Amino acid sequence: MRASGILLHISSLPSKYASGNLGLDAYKFVDFLYKSRQTLWQILPFNIPHASGSPYSARSSFGGNPDFISPELLVKDGLLTKEDFRKYDGDHTKLLLKAKERFSFEHPEFLAFFSFNENWLKDLALFQVLSKHFPTVWSEWPEDYKNRNQDHLDIFLKEHKDEIYFEYFCQFQFEKQWALLKKYAQKKSVTIIGDVPIFVAYHSMEVWRWPHYFKLGPNKEMIIETGAPPDDFSHHGQKWGNPNYDWEQLKKNSFKFWVDRLNYLLTKVDLVRLDHFLGFINVWEIPVSDPDASTGTWAKTPGKELFDVLKRAIPHMPFIAEDLGHITEEVRDLRKDLNIPSMKVMQFAFGSDHLNEHHPEAVEKETIYYTGTHDNNTIVGFFQTSPSEVKERIFKCFKKNHSEKNIHQSFLYSLFYSKADQVIFPIQDLLGQGESQRMNIPGTVENNWKYSFNWKDLTSHEIKFLKYLSYNSSRNIKKRSPLFSKKFPWKFMLPGLVTFFLFMILPIISTFLIGFTNLGTGHLLSQNEVYNLFLQEKYVPENSETHSFELFQDGNSYEILLENKYGARFDLSDSKKIVPLSPSEGNSNFKKLSLGEVFKIRDQLKKISFQNEDGTSLRYFRTNLLLNLKQKFLPRTGQKLYDEKNDEFYIPNTLEGFYESSDQKKRLYPGFTVFIGSKNFTSLLTDPKIGGIFLKILSWTFIWAIGSVFLTFSAGLFFALLLNRKKLKFKAFYRVLFIIPYSIPFFISVLVMRGLLNEDFGAINEILSHFGISNIPWLSDPFWAKASCLMVNLWLGFPYMLLVITGILQSIPSTLYEAAILDGASRWATLRYITFPLIMSAIVPLLIGTFAFNLNNFVGIYLLTAGGPPIIGATTPAGETDILLSYTYRLAFEGGQGQNFGLASAIAIFIFIMICFITLINFKFSGMMKEQGKR
């Protein structure tokens, strides 16, 4: 993929402190890259430098420069305070020391870091502290330290524990801050390119620790150093002051040294620039005593064998070769065989009229193309100091696309439009900065590596410019996977969504609505239904007469004959309808029904109103009598009801859901369902009868949930530790037996326990009676009922904890324990300081989950005690062991004092909000919403 990006070392980020760091400015820079559509960020080596400050001469290739630790980020961890910053006097180390005092080295994150990096961390810390105490090259340290006499080192370690731990602290913080930054860069699709110098400095942890890997004299002194032969740039060649490796020794150990080194670096960066790639073919060796490098000789390097090993260890080979300078055929072949891209620098293109490989028109595809590197001048500086014939060649190359004033932009144009797959430029060339701003002048010592840029210079103009360049030269174009379409996948989502909507969303919405109504016994119907109900109500007026009748049937048709005078045909299906009666001759050919047959269809007959000619309606009264019945309420506009007999109006009270007489003294029953606003909720809090019990139940709910978590966790931990003994036989078998209670369906276990706890014939009381303990009222006494609930839940739930904790215990690296035992820790101390913190850090989300589950563990309570024993004096069905949910269930579904769906729904909403809250916290803790797999 065609990509582009910026070369900028961490130290060059703007900062208030000694050096740029991994703090907010680094994130801001990643944001800048993202906004300007750049995907590469190349940095220099980040290890602890020597006094010269050169990143290429480090104390070790492991560990990071403590100057890069951002003090601001330490504030977030509570390790520094604002007060500390006020006292800041320019001494970055002082701040770190302060933070170290507040740091707990028992933090599981630190313990994990320590165990993962043990192979270098301890030695680096020792080397650093020893270097402070003996400020000479390590070969001049006291013999015991120089030769790494283990006993003396151990003593030194103990005596300087504080300083050693300070080094640990710095490395831990560096690691942590770096990991965060890298993750952020990844999120913003920025690839970080790191750098590995081929050699290590003589005064470095590596040479001190593994002297046999280097070509050293009999007294471990450096006798041969590496460098470069004389060329056009330096007539006497270069001496670098680094020892050469004893490559044969490295090979004997299958180049583990290099594998470890690169693997460590690749935890920090995505791509690695292999500095001085030439050195993997041969190395220019110069005797240390020689005055200059001209007397050196070439020494062969087994580069091919090394890369064969690396290919196996790091199959994707994320490398770039720094192959500048005189490159032989052999070097080129090695690079091409390995498929590693080459480096080209545009500044080198204009030395002659001859079109060389650095020229924008000659550059190949598998290349990383630079305007300049950290060792070059800036473009502006380069251009200004160039002789006129070079300038001519530059103009010729850029044709019309250049202006002398913005020469750096012309270079960037050519760079981006070149054939090279990846192009990188130092930030100075984006900002058009001059020679004074260059990073390093090789061969000099003063004023190098000091460059840093200023946010003021990086404006929206630069963002636009880079965006434009990238877009037009088709760089950093994200290729979308054809898998990820933006369209909503209806086809796949629909089946799940339909049931989810019907049986999750719809019920929840209706529950929410019901929570704001008075739905319940006496208020089950809507106003309309209640209105129609009242309209159907009839009464018998005083002095009303009865009329005898006979009924005839033919199939589905019926005929009525009233007092032998009036008749009508009707059928039962048109019930509710009014049947008008008319004068009749009484000569029906239908079959006459007996009284018993009439009695059988009386219910249907009751619904029919027979309309007499004078307008009175007659209704079924007895099997042979109709009665003049009058409608009790007459309809009036606005769904009012008029009671003719008592001359009274009834008006619907839509606030409380009743029909009320106009003087508000009389009410009609049943009432109807109305929205009563938040009354259900306020009554929970203010009504002493409901609220008091609600609070009582709420507090027991929490005691129950917390108690269950605590008990199951403690028991689970105990059994897990019991069964975690190293050489215990039948471990797995015991474990399976212990989780049997958890494997049995919940309802069965609870019902069985209910039987066992039965006061009169339960097995538990029977066993206790053998010990002279009289019957304990396990389920009928408030205290014992609660205790029983917790005990039963303990029995049911501890195997889950046992399983989970066992899983955690097995994942703790045994090296942690070995290290602790070496340090003389007791069994209890390892438990207290290693096992326990690690378990806690992993199990907290599970504890919260269990807590949330038990808050609503309806079956655990309901099947055991059914909530009982009842709370004395409660107006709602409430028991001593009721948790909120079982209480709600009983409010809604158990009659007794009438069902109250409204109040029950209000409590359900309360529970739901509570659970949502806990769940959200849990997601935060467990990182559950973080997705695996990136795109």
Partner 1 sequence: MTQIQKKTKELAYHLFIICLLMVVLFPVLYIISISLSSSGQAEAILIPKKIGFENWKYILQIPYIDKLTNTKVISYFPILKWLGNSLKISFITSILMLLLSTTSAYALSRFDFKGRKSSLLTLMIIQMFPNIMAMVAFYFILDFLGKFFPFLGTDTHGGLILVYLGGTPFNIWLIKGYFDTIPRSIEESALMDGCNRFQVFYKIVLPLSTPILAVVGLLTFINTFSDFVLPSILLKSQDTLTFAVGIQIFISESFSSRWGQFAASCILGAFPISAIFLLIHKYIISGLSMGGTKG
Which residues ranging from 378 to 397 are in contact with partner 1 (CB under 8 A)? Answer: none
Footprint of partner 1 on residues 618-677 (CB under 8 A)?
none
Taking CB under 8 A as the rule, does residue 313 contact partner 1? no
Tell me if residue 375 is catalytic: yes
SS (H, E, C) 671-724: CECCECCCHHHHHHHHCHHHHHHHHHHHHHHHHHHHHHHHHHHHHHHHHHHHHC
Footprint of partner 1 on residues 508-567 (CB under 8 A)?
508, 510-511, 514, 519
Footprint of partner 1 on residues 468-487 (CB under 8 A)?
481-487
Looking up tokens 């090279």 gives 420
Q: Which is nearer to partner 1, 81 or 511 (CB)?
A: 511
H/E segment holding residue 238: strand 238-243
Q: How far is the CB of 688 from partner 1 (least distance, A)?
A: 25
Tell me, what DSSP letter sits at residue 879? B
Active site residue: 375, 571, 687, 759, which one? 375
Q: Helices then strands (H, E): number in the chain?
A: 37, 28
Contact indicator for 242, 305 with CB cutoff of 8 Å: no
Q: Tell me the window of 4-12, 151-159, 795-803, 825-833 that interacts with partner 1 (CB under 8 A).
A: 795-803
Q: Which is nearer to partner 1, 440 or 673 (CB)?
A: 673
Tell me if residue 574 is catalytic: no
Binding-site string for partner 1 from residue 29 to residue 68, where x marks contact by CB under 8 A and - marks none: ----------------------------------------
Sign of the C-alpha dihedral computed for residues 383, 387, 388 and 392 taken in this order: negative
Q: How far is the CB of 848 from partner 1 (least distance, A)?
A: 10
Tell me if residue 435 is catalytic: no
Footprint of partner 1 on residues 802-861 (CB under 8 A)?
803-804, 807, 845-846, 849-850, 852-853, 856-859
Footprint of partner 1 on residues 740-769 (CB under 8 A)?
740-749, 751-756, 758, 760-763, 766-767
Footprint of partner 1 on residues 855-894 (CB under 8 A)?
856-859, 863, 885, 888-889, 892-893
Binding-site string for partner 1 from residue 275 to residue 304, where x marks contact by CB under 8 A and - marks none: ------------------------------
Give the separation between CA 331 and CA 279, rounded to whole angstroms. Answer: 9
Q: Which is nearer to partner 1, 155 or 508 (CB)?
A: 508
Burial call 678-698: b when 16+ CB within 10 Å, e when fewer: ebbbebbeebeebeebbebbb
Q: Which is nearer to partner 1, 531 or 800 (CB)?
A: 800
Looking up tokens 């200023």 gives 454
Give the separation between CA 573 and CA 554, rounded to whole angstroms. Answer: 14
Instruction: Find the binder of partner 1 among 54, 282, 830, 926 (CB under 8 A).
Output: 926
Amino acid in the structure at residue 872? I
Q: How far is the CB of 849 from partner 1 (least distance, A)?
A: 5
Site size with partner 1, rule: CB under 8 A: 104
Question: Angle 688-723/884-893 helices, nearest 10 degrees?
Answer: 130
Query: How far from each other are the two terminal CA atoms of the chain, in whole angstroms?
Result: 16
Burial call 581-609: b when 16+ CB within 10 Å, e when fewer: beebeeebeeeebeeeebeeeeeebeebb
Instruction: Find the binder of partner 1 among 105, 233, 503, 599 (CB under 8 A).
Output: 503
What is residue 296's three-state secondary structure? coil
Give the separation between CA 62 and CA 630, rounded to whole angstroms. Answer: 101
Q: Which is nearer to partner 1, 19 or 712 (CB)?
A: 712
Q: How far is the CB of 869 from partner 1 (least distance, A)?
A: 16
Q: Which is nearer to partner 1, 507 or 677 (CB)?
A: 507
Q: Which is nearer to partner 1, 625 or 763 (CB)?
A: 763
H helices of 418-559, where?
427-431, 460-472, 490-500, 506-514, 527-535
Footprint of partner 1 on residues 335-354 (CB under 8 A)?
none
Which residues contact residue 706 at a Cβ distance below 8 angstroms, ignoring those fewer than 6 apart?
851
SS (H, E, C) 779-842: CCCHHHHHHHHHHHHHHHHHHHHHHHHHHHHHHCCHHHHHHHHHCCCCHHHHHHHHHHHHHHHH
Give the separation between CA 397 and CA 642, rounded to whole angstroms. Answer: 103
Q: Which is nearer to partner 1, 319 or 719 (CB)?
A: 719
Taking CB under 8 A as the rule, does residue 492 contact partner 1? yes
Active site residue: 275, 559, 880, 882, which one? 275
Footprint of partner 1 on residues 698-727 (CB under 8 A)?
719, 722-723, 725
Footprint of partner 1 on residues 901-920 (CB under 8 A)?
901, 904-905, 908, 911-912, 915-916, 919-920
Could you give the residue numbers annotated as active site?
275, 322, 375
